[in-house]
């Protein structure tokens, strides 16, 4: 059992939780909680180690036994030590260190979400989760967007990270991905004063939907590459929508249109 805060494995976990540089340098990230660890195991991502403590549930104990059978390294640590590491008020007694894996973008691509300078981790995680639910084939993270594998983003994503390609890249790469296909994707941006709204535009065509940042909306670079701007009807008195809510409306309007 690991009891010391100075243990090298514990120090690694702490650096991965707190530092984006550590995650990028090591290509590792941390997932916390039973559901997310289960999802990582089920999705067959490469797991470096799973840490658990004495408050683990019966379901968690079964997962640990399953991991041992799969030759996944597991380490018991004291509950106070785990509580120091986790950011939740009532930790479930388990966290995992996972090797980052870049899922491949499908060759036939017709439904993409582009996150433009989304800085709030909760918003980004919710957008990734929504994209996975809507059947989006890839989430492209434009410059200025927060680290998709930060702990708060992972928690908000609720396991979606293991099932959808998420790539951080520059605008030139984004343009290349959208325009180099046999059927190029139309890049659709959100703008409050756009002439057409999302109910009117054709989202059955191959589409890449840009959702801009929480404070400033779409960046100049995003505006320059956009083929078509759309608005979201807001008959009420609010001036704007939360970025994750806006993404949900647009993505599921595409789902509605494509289901006809």
* pLDDT tens string 112-127: 999 999 999 999 999 9
Residue 197 has a pLDDT of 94
pLDDT of 150 higher than 90 = yes
Mean pLDDT of the chain: 94
Give the mean pLDDT of 125-135.
Answer: 98
Confidence of residue 102 (pLDDT cuts 50, 70, 90): confident
Give the mean pLDDT of 96-125.
Answer: 95
DSSP state of 162: G
CA angle 79, 34, 249 (to 5 degrees): 130
- Other beta carbons less than 10 A from residue 24's beta carbon: 14
pLDDT of 240 higher than 80 = no
Give the mean pLDDT of 162-177.
Answer: 96
Q: What is the pTM of this model?
A: 0.94
Architecture of domain 8-99: 2-Layer Sandwich (3.30)
CA 152/CA 49 separation, integer angstroms: 20
CA 185 to chain centre: 22
Residue 142 has a pLDDT of 97
Residue 214 has a pLDDT of 75
pLDDT of 209 higher than 90 = yes
20, 49, 50, 63, 68 from 58: Cα distances, Å: 33, 20, 16, 9, 15
Domain range annotation of the chain: 8-99, 111-258
pLDDT of 166 higher than 90 = yes
* pLDDT tens string 39-87: 999 999 999 999 999 999 999 999 999 999 999 999 999 999 999 998 7
Tell me which fold the domain 111-258 belongs to.
Answer: Alpha/beta knot (3.40.1280)
Share of the chain above pLDDT 90, in %: 87
Residue 237 has a pLDDT of 76
Query: Which of 18-22, 177-181, 185-189 shows the lowest mean pLDDT across its residues?
Result: 177-181
6, 151, 177 from 253: Cα distances, Å: 51, 29, 23
Q: Which residue has the higher pLDDT, 190 or 238?
A: 190
Query: Which of 40-49, 110-119, 166-175, 236-245 shows the lowest mean pLDDT across its residues?
Result: 236-245
């Amino acid at each position: 059992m690991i009891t010391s805060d100075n243990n090298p494995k514990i120090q690694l976990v702490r650096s991965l939780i707190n530092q984006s540089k550590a995650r990028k340098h090591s290509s590792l990230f941390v997932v916390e909680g039973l559901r997310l660890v289960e999802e990582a195991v089920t999705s067959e991502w490469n797991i470096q180690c799973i840490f658990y403590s004495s408050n683990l549930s019966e379901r968690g104990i079964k997962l640990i036994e399953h991991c041992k059978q799969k030759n996944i390294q597991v380490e018991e640590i004291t509950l106070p030590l785990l509580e120091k590491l986790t950011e939740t008020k009532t930790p479930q007694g388990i966290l995992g260190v996972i090797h980052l894996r870049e899922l491949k973008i499908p060759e036939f691509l017709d439904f993409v979400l582009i996150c433009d300078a989304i800085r709030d981790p909760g918003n980004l995680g919710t957008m990734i989760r929504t994209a996975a639910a809507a059947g989006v084939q890839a989430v492209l993270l434009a410059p200025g967007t927060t680290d998709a594998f930060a702990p708060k983003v992972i928690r908000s994503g609720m396991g979606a990270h293991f099932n959808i390609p998420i790539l951080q890249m520059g605008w030139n790469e984004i343009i290349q991905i959208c325009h180099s296909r046999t059927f190029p994707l139309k890049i659709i941006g959100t703008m409050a004063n756009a002439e057409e709204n999302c109910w009117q535009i054709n989202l059955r065509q191959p589409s890449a939907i840009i959702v801009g940042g929480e404070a400033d909306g779409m960046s100049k670079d995003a505006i320059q590459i956009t083929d078509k701007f759309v608005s979201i009807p807001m008959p009420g008195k609010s001036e704007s929508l939360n970025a994750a809510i806006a993404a949900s409306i647009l993505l599921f309007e595409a789902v509605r249109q494509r289901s006809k």
